[in-house]
Amino acid sequence: MESAARTDADETNRLISSQKVNGTAVYNDQGENLGTVDHLMIDKFSGHVAYAVMSFGGFLGIGADYHPLPWDALDYDVNLGGYRVDVNRTQLEAAPRYTANTEPNWSDRAYTDRVDQHWGVSRQRAERIVAVFDGADKARAARNALVGAGVPSDRLDIVEHQTNVDHWGVLQGHTIPNEDCHTYAESLKRGHAMLLIRCDPAEHDRVLQLIQSHNPIDIDEHASNWRASGWSGRAEGAQEQVIPVYEEKLKVGKRIVESGGVRVRIYTVEQPVQEGVTLRQERVAVERRPVDRPVGTTSGDAFRDRTIDVTTHQEEAVVSKEARVKEEVVVRKEADQRTETVGDKVRRTEVEVEDDRAKTTSPTPTTPKR
């Protein structure tokens, strides 16, 4: 029951918890899944969602890119159960992005303007007026006058000196530029009070006129006098925001890969060979020759039986083979070196500084400063 009650509390017909928005899929008009909503960026003063930061690519969030999309560019599609944006994947890849290691400076007006311009969203930004008074009572009197003139009270803030309070951090919370924070923090230290007003551009002149009627101090003139009396120009306990600038370096290494080879195969073949040789052969020739002479002294043996054997011989070819080295095949590897130019793209972060102090107006008893 508790789980069901939580689900009902997380979402109604028009409202949804930010906890449920995170992880919601984002589609284009073709129904292609582009990514999911990772988190929201909310305007601290108006309370409106300014941007939905979409996670695009990566595995389990590793190596993912983050794309800030203006909230006005998203439409919720009930059938898809997610948000739709009129963009294709190619346009998304060309949109402003950052990684977990390159978080943008959201207070940089140039960055948010670039995001809005890419997505075709125009914003009417509220003007900011900073008035400094001699004390908190005068600042409250000016505030009451503005409320009586119809300026919403949630657009008016009073900052005064308080013991053990980080005035620098308070001023940073109101998105006042660092360069001006030094002067305003010093004014608080010296007992002055600040009235911060956010108004629409059309109301700027009317609001400024009402503030001037309550005699704010000329903060620039006071700051000049403080410097002349020895003030360093920096507030005590001032904090610095370090923005790392990243740059990739190209490193080229070597590895050994197979590029081919030579195979030498040894095998035996036979071929007929003829060689001439002279052979000697014996044969027996029997010849009967007629003679007429006396037997002589061996007449007793003349009539004895005898057998005479005559053996003949002949030569025959005897074949023998001798293996001899007739040729040598030498296989060796030779190596040479060459210089090859390897090209790739390296990334680096650029820092654009936009001085929006011109957007902060400090009224003076004479000419207002924009």
Domain ranges of the chain: 2-118, 127-235+356-361
What's the pLDDT band for 192 if we cut at 50, 70, 90? very high
- Model pTM score: 0.41
Sign of CA dihedral 296, 301, 307, 309: negative
Q: How far apart are CA 368 and CA 218, in angstroms?
A: 9
Please tell me the predicted confidence (pLDDT) of residue 141.
Answer: 92
Q: What CATH number does the domain located at 2-118 have?
A: 2.30.30.240
Fold of domain 127-235+356-361: Alpha-Beta Plaits (3.30.70)
**What single-letter amino acid sits at 79?**
N
Query: How is residue 220 written in tokens?
Result: 């620039």
The predicted pLDDT at position 7 comes to 43
> What's the pLDDT band for 144 if we cut at 50, 70, 90?
very high
- The 10s digit of each residue's pLDDT in 84-110 is 888 877 777 788 888 877 888 877 778
- Same CATH topology for 2-118 and 127-235+356-361: the answer is no
Question: Once rounded to an integer, what is the mean pLDDT over residues 324-335?
Answer: 86
CA 188, 194, 198, 203 dihedral sign is negative
Mean pLDDT, rounded, for 156-181: 77
